Structure 1
Amino acid sequence: MKGLGILACLLCGFVLQRVHSQVKVEVNLDVKHKLGDVETFERRKFVNFHGTIEQNNWNTDNKIDDLIGDLLGDRDVYVGRNTGTIKWALNNNVTEDPARPGFADPASIATHGLNNRNSYAAKTWAHTYEYLDYQILCNQIFPFYPDGKTTNKGWAFSQTDTEAEPFGTASGEFLGRYIQEYYGTGGTTGQKKPSFVEITNEPLWDLVTVADEPHDLTKIFNFHSTVAKEVHKYNPDMQVGGYCAAFPDFDMDNFQRWRDRDQHFIDVAGADMDFYTIHLYDFPCIGGKAKYRKGSNIEATMDMMEQYSYMALGHVKPLMISEYNAQTHDYNKQAWSAYRDWLKMKSTISMMMQFMERANNINYAMPFFMLKSEWQYNESVGPTSVHGARMLRRENEPTSYTGDFVYTEAIKIFDLLKDVNGTRVDSKSNNMDVLCDAYVEGNKAYVLVNNLDFIGHTLNLEISGIDATPTNIETRHLHLQGGVGGIPKLDIEQVNDLSNGVTLTAEGTYLFIYTYDEDITIDKLSEEKKYYADTYLQEIYSNNPITFNINGVDKGTYGEAMLRVGVGRDHGKTLKPTITINGKTISVPTNFRGGPQTDRDNFFGVLEIPVALADLDTDNEVVVTFPDYGGYISTVTMQVYNFSHDFRPEDVSIGKRNEYKSLSIFPNPVKDEFTVSVENSANKYDLRMYNMAGNRVFEFIDLRGEQTFNVGGLQKGVYMVTLTGNEIKRVGRLVVI
């Protein structure tokens, strides 16, 4: 009867320690995690910022010696995005074609393009770091969009819209010729061509949202199609995309915003886009409220774009997140502060890790940090006029805008991520609010863990897939010190052992670097693939079953799956539907990524629901029923992980004697007591039990044979039970009634 008296004490302890509940992070170093065709950490996609390789302020007024080498070279950081040079060239240099009114003069483009290439050729200090130049070229909306606004040279692009000259032809020709003439292949030939072209930056903000007379959306989207075709005519291999949504609030007005804008864009221009661009910002301080996207909201936003792309075009177009982190409204028009940097930094890391989970469907994810942004500073206003998203600040800020340039706190993001590289390996957290990712390169393993939660957690790291003991463990902990108004800290330590656990602070991030004597062998495989339902955006009615079909699922012998249900609902509506898959009711957790979005106008997020691989067929019927009326199911998708080996047995049905030759757990459901029986009493095992929020409610170690446990002190609901030992590894659900 072991555990009857001890359990009550442990439960009391659990209640008192909820602020630092324990989270299990399991890493299998010998299991490659293949995501589509992506197998490695692609630093250029994620470790970057909003800058350019050739800007002159790399070399002026800097406290840091060899700034470009220190920031880019030593930390292996990529740049960037250029949204200003092309506008300046169009406004101030390029003249109108005398033979074709409304078109840029090709000779003028060529002349100024040669000057630009020669200017870059002379910047030999930049050539060394060209391998880190992974550029997005982007226009500002005016005067590129043809609505009559003139350049500083006194001419405007043609507004003709005919079959022979579709609306936007002149703008697109200019952009195509600009790329041809202004770029070379690197070094003395001129800066290498950009990797991507965004047609315009946030066009609907100027043309629709704040316009006195909103422009026609269909015409704007046809403009994007025309420009993309013109750019491809002059640069066939160039990747071109749009429309660069500033605030993709798909759920606004009961998803009418999505229908009018983003769905409409895909219907009109999607076939001509190589990728779709969106900008994603948290609002952690807006009128005293905190409106976060990180967590389930970002998941719902990206799932919706993916699923509709699949439904409309037959495949998923890649996403470009060319700006993201946080807008700090309540700190605008204030001088620089370390705390404002932190508000942007914490969102950057959380969002970055969510983007990394979709590495196969993302071209680029670029946090909105610029190098100096001196154009923002107004001497007559003083230090309160500085830009809030900078990598560098004046040494004497916030007191005065004087002194040489030094790093802002944002540099700690890149110090945290320095050296991370390698093959992606299997990792899993038992708490949706704790994100994890892991990579192996040679004899080193990198484990990255981020906390979306607003409370701390104790991490229980379980590293398997290698027999050796690490010779060293380096920990890097990025966190806020001092609460609101505090400063970001990056604590770096060398330790020998983590068996006692570590505390991951609220919204903090840990990087663990394990070093071994020999290279780590990766000889197992987890292949992840995502499947999309045949319908989406279904209105919710009370007790009305909504059916989604997910067909063509490739299911292996071993593995696991995750059903993803996007939901947009008013606050107060339930977020726990009844769901069946192929007629079988599955358990729906109450936890989801991030906070409950209380300060947002409504909830828009993804419910992520574990599914046993055994419950899936090639073709699957998913039925979702909510008990109350209101809102929409935005998407239904399924992530399937096929394993080459049974390295993490999937959830098993608990409740019958002798279900396994050596192991039985019964009864299920349970009211008072359940029993664990292991046939071979020589096999020791540990038992742990977790609620669906991922919090451990009790554990017992070094057990043998048959044991009985009392659950009378637990709340009714679904719990996860794990049994681990030398010859035992089982995970299952136990229902307490």
Structure 2
Amino acid sequence: MPISNDFRLTSLLIPFALAACTNGTNNHKEVVEPVVIPADAVNVRVDINTLQYFDDSLTLDRQKFFNQHDSQFNAWLYDVEDVDYMRNELNAGVGRQFWGPMSTAKALKQSYPSTETAKIEGKKSIESFNNHKLRSTYSNRSVMTEHPRTVVTDLNDNIVEGARWAADYFEYYYTDESRPLFFEPMNEPFVHAKDFVPGGWDAKKNFVMTQHMSDWFKEIGKEFDKRPALKDMYVMGFSSAWPSLELNDFNHFKERQKMFMDRAGDYIDSFSFHLYDGVNVTGQSNRRSGSNAQAIIDIIETYSMVKWDKVKPHALTEYGGIIDRPKLPNAKSKKDQEYFYDETIASQEIKSYNHMLMEFLDREERILTSIPFITGHATWYWPTHEGHPYSATLWRPDPAKIRLNTNTNRYEFINPKDKNNYLPTPKIKFYQLWNEVKGNRLATESSDPDIQTKAYVDGDTVYIALNNLEDESKTVNLAVGAGAGYQYKNLTLKRLAVPTDSPATLQVDSKKVSGYVSSSQLAANVIELAPYETVVYQYQFNKTVKADTQLRRETYYSDDFLQPIKANQPITIKFNQVDLTTSSQQHSTALLRMSIGRKHDKSKQPIVTINGSSVTVPNDWAGYDQANRKDFFGAIEIPVPMSLLKKNNQVRLTFPDTQGHVSSVVLEVNKAI
């Protein structure tokens, strides 16, 4: 039963069968009750027999998405069991650490050590790795990065020598087994450019410094390309902290992201940037979740395609939420206010992790890695902050097991050997929610862009994730479709709620269920999602799920991007060489994703034609209205009938008013194969 082109439901009263058995007991009884589906419910449909390819990507690669912002060789790891818990119980890896060639050079008290020094010192490093207690657990799927002050001195840096040393470091300090896959030469360099410009703020000098920083990335990438030993490494950048690309009529994009791509991009393997809800270092408060994140990613992909005829993959080396902390009752001072631990505040970032993860999952074929900003134990922080943990930590010291050392004026554990010195923070619930999800991607459909959906099948088990981007509750009717003979057997429902005024909760409910999928509606499939809530359904069926339909989504970009909007003047976007070959026109779909940057009082609904035929532009998009931002910058998805598409296509957008830009338009064609 492939997903239809027109999936709409009104208020329904449907019987369902449920064997009322919870928590693994065997005392169950078959009951039949009606399920009321409200008329305003969001309709989500998943067909368990319809596989969804993104280009050639089908199977969920968990390594790309479920990571921790930490190094597995940090001192807090007591033994192999600690790594096993993260990897096997939470089913996550470690993703990023602050260390690299320039930090090593400073430790050696040299600017750029010689190649001979690299060989001598590197041999010691390899021996240390081979003897490390955690060697058996090691994974090289990690990003190494450094603070700009460790790399940059001034405009007189010897970048060529610095690049030579960076390449020497990764060639001689590691073996093929231990060498990290990813190197991000600097973390968020452009927001620190002013630190290297003497005197007060000077925009021109600041821009020159960002160009100098870009040249560091370029020379390092160029040198790595010369080294056969480094052929499997990815150089990524520029680790943008503040991708408000629409600011100043997109001059922010031109002077930062585009400049970096023009200046260094030929030697960069992946473009890295950081997406945060809130204020990251500088700029206005943003909620990037939803349409804003889509628009940012789309213009980077579009310009990548324009320059290189391919989309260079993304590296989301940090993402999450930055929370404005309210006045805390026990805070004694402004300093204490900044770091005083509170379970409710520690929970709030979780909703941003889930919002953005769902978007990244929708671009899996273009994602190299993504790392929620969830750190480990942050032992560098709490001893000097009265025992309070760093805000992003997964683990916090047990207050009952620490004390102030009056000689050092630092907090320490009473018994450092106690393996239970740390307690989990609410952020652990993010990993617990997702820890079992795996398998091949299934096609999904949602009638509301604020309800994000993803589904996967593994043997006889199907996982369906729903996420609410909205500030208000939403009732969702989840319609699960299947071919003949498939029966429900077991259902586990995980619900991760993040209230604004209390700590996050993760509820897990397991029950026996029954009935043929094709004729039964489970009560649990009609669900009211709280604001920002994420749920994961885990269905077990009576037999292995087999595909009868396969869809492949292909994405097309246009050279016609970043075009100014003028009243009643059509903007033309061309999409050529579109492959429309399909095994079933009925089961194929298409959409345009239009990204615009405009003042809030300007129209977001242009007249849109495709090859001369009009299509309807929704007055809705993923996420909030962006009213707290200076401009609206977001993507709006426009459904397109397949019958309107040709091999070569012309899209025209006509706005009724002047101002702003169409930053990009992307065409997605999802064909039955």
TM interval, shorter chain, is 0.7 to 0.9
Residue 422 of structure 1 is aligned with which of 418, 436, 439?
439
Residue 72 of structure 2 is aligned with which of 27, 43, 53?
53
Task: Report if aligned partners of 1:283, 1:292 keep a CA contact under 8 Å in 2.
Answer: yes
Q: Distance in 1 between matches of 2:665 and 2:471?
A: 28
C-alpha change, 1:623 and 1:458, in structure 2 (3 Å) is same
Q: Distance in 2 between matches of 1:609 and 1:571?
A: 20
- Kindly state the Cα deviation for residue 284 of structure 1 after the two structures are TM-superposed: 8.0
- Kindly state the Cα deviation for residue 58 of structure 1 after the two structures are TM-superposed: 1.1
Q: Report what 1:689 is aligned to.
A: none
Letter in 2 for 1:314: D
Residue 444 of structure 1 is aligned with which of 448, 461, 464?
461
- Kindly state the Cα deviation for residue 496 of structure 1 after the two structures are TM-superposed: 4.1
Residue 396 of structure 1 is aligned with which of 377, 394, 399?
399
Residue 488 of structure 2 is aligned with which of 459, 466, 470?
470
Q: Report what 1:575 is aligned to.
A: 604
Q: Report what 2:225 is aligned to.
A: 232
Correspondences of 1:11-90 after superposition (within 5 Å): 21-59=40-78, 66-84=81-99, 86-90=101-105
Structure 2: which 5+ runs fail to align?
1-9, 14-35, 199-204, 327-336, 404-410, 414-420, 514-520
Q: Distance in 1 between matches of 2:381 and 2:600?
A: 39
Q: Report what 1:327 is aligned to.
A: 322
- Kindly state the Cα deviation for residue 145 of structure 1 after the two structures are TM-superposed: 2.7
Q: Distance in 2 between matches of 1:116 and 1:402?
A: 29
- Kindly state the Cα deviation for residue 139 of structure 1 after the two structures are TM-superposed: 2.7
Residue 387 of structure 1 is aligned with which of 378, 387, 390?
390
Residue 354 of structure 2 is aligned with which of 334, 338, 349?
349
Letter in 2 for 1:327: I
Q: Distance in 1 between matches of 2:672 and 2:109?
A: 57
Correspondences of 1:473-622 after superposition (within 5 Å): 473-480=491-498, 483-496=499-512, 499-500=522-523, 501-555=526-580, 556=582, 557-558=584-585, 559-622=588-651
- Kindly state the Cα deviation for residue 270 of structure 1 after the two structures are TM-superposed: 1.3
Q: Report what 1:698 is aligned to.
A: none
Task: Report if aligned partners of 1:336, 1:397 keep a CA contact under 8 Å in 2.
Answer: no
- Kindly state the Cα deviation for residue 329 of structure 1 after the two structures are TM-superposed: 3.5
Q: Distance in 1 between matches of 2:627 and 2:269?
A: 36
Letter in 1 for 2:572: T
- Kindly state the Cα deviation for residue 185 of structure 1 after the two structures are TM-superposed: 4.1
Deviations 1:188-247 (A, max 9, x none): xxxx11111112111111124884452444333233211111122232332112111111
Deviations 1:417-447 (A, max 9, x none): 1121111111111110000011111111111
Correspondences of 1:212-231 after superposition (within 5 Å): 212=198, 214=206, 215-231=208-224
Q: Distance in 2 between matches of 1:286 and 1:171?
A: 27
Q: Distance in 2 between matches of 1:275 and 1:210?
A: 26
- Kindly state the Cα deviation for residue 90 of structure 1 after the two structures are TM-superposed: 2.0
Find the structure with the greater CA-based Rg: 1
Q: Distance in 2 between matches of 1:282 and 1:20?
A: 32
Q: Report what 1:140 is aligned to.
A: 147
Q: Distance in 2 between matches of 1:364 and 1:200?
A: 17
Q: Distance in 1 between matches of 2:615 and 2:309?
A: 29
Deviations 1:342-379 (A, max 9, x none): 22110001101101101111101110111011213363
Correspondences of 1:607-686 after superposition (within 5 Å): 607-644=636-673
Greater length-normalized contact order (CA 8 Å, ≥ 6 residues apart): 2
C-alpha change, 1:590 and 1:495, in structure 2 (3 Å) is farther
Q: Distance in 2 between matches of 1:9 and 1:475?
A: 23
TM-score (norm 1): 0.76
Q: Distance in 1 between matches of 2:400 and 2:478?
A: 40
What SS does the corresponding residue of 2:619 show, helix, strand or coil? coil
Q: Distance in 2 between matches of 1:242 and 1:9?
A: 51
Letter in 1 for 2:348: L
Confirm whether residue 458 of structure 1 aligns to residue 456 of structure 2: no
Q: Distance in 2 between matches of 1:70 and 1:221?
A: 39
What SS does the corresponding residue of 1:333 show, helix, strand or coil? helix
Q: Distance in 1 between matches of 2:260 and 2:85?
A: 42
Q: Report what 1:307 is aligned to.
A: 302
Q: Report what 2:374 is aligned to.
A: 369
Letter in 1 for 2:234: Q
Q: Distance in 2 between matches of 1:19 and 1:454?
A: 19
Q: Distance in 2 between matches of 1:193 and 1:269?
A: 23
What SS does the corresponding residue of 2:614 show, helix, strand or coil? strand
Q: Distance in 1 between matches of 2:101 and 2:94?
A: 17
Letter in 1 for 2:640: V
Task: Report if aligned partners of 2:222, 2:267 keep a CA contact under 8 Å in 1.
Answer: yes
Q: Distance in 1 between matches of 2:573 and 2:322?
A: 37
Task: Report if aligned partners of 1:579, 1:585 keep a CA contact under 8 Å in 2.
Answer: yes
What SS does the corresponding residue of 1:355 show, helix, strand or coil? helix
- Kindly state the Cα deviation for residue 574 of structure 1 after the two structures are TM-superposed: 1.7
Residue 241 of structure 1 is aligned with which of 232, 236, 252?
236
Residue 175 of structure 1 is aligned with which of 166, 169, 173?
166
Q: Distance in 2 between matches of 1:588 and 1:159?
A: 51
Task: Report if aligned partners of 2:45, 2:446 keep a CA contact under 8 Å in 1.
Answer: yes
Q: Distance in 1 between matches of 2:313 and 2:44?
A: 29
C-alpha change, 1:223 and 1:8, in structure 2 (3 Å) is closer
Q: Report what 1:130 is aligned to.
A: 138
- Kindly state the Cα deviation for residue 465 of structure 1 after the two structures are TM-superposed: 2.7
Residue 409 of structure 1 is aligned with which of 413, 419, 426?
426
Task: Report if aligned partners of 2:37, 2:477 keep a CA contact under 8 Å in 1.
Answer: no
Task: Report if aligned partners of 1:146, 1:171 keep a CA contact under 8 Å in 2.
Answer: no
Q: Report what 1:159 is aligned to.
A: 157
Q: Distance in 1 between matches of 2:365 and 2:387?
A: 42
Task: Report if aligned partners of 1:588, 1:609 keep a CA contact under 8 Å in 2.
Answer: yes
Letter in 1 for 2:463: Y
- Kindly state the Cα deviation for residue 470 of structure 1 after the two structures are TM-superposed: 1.7
427-436 vs 333-342, greater mean Cα deviation: 333-342
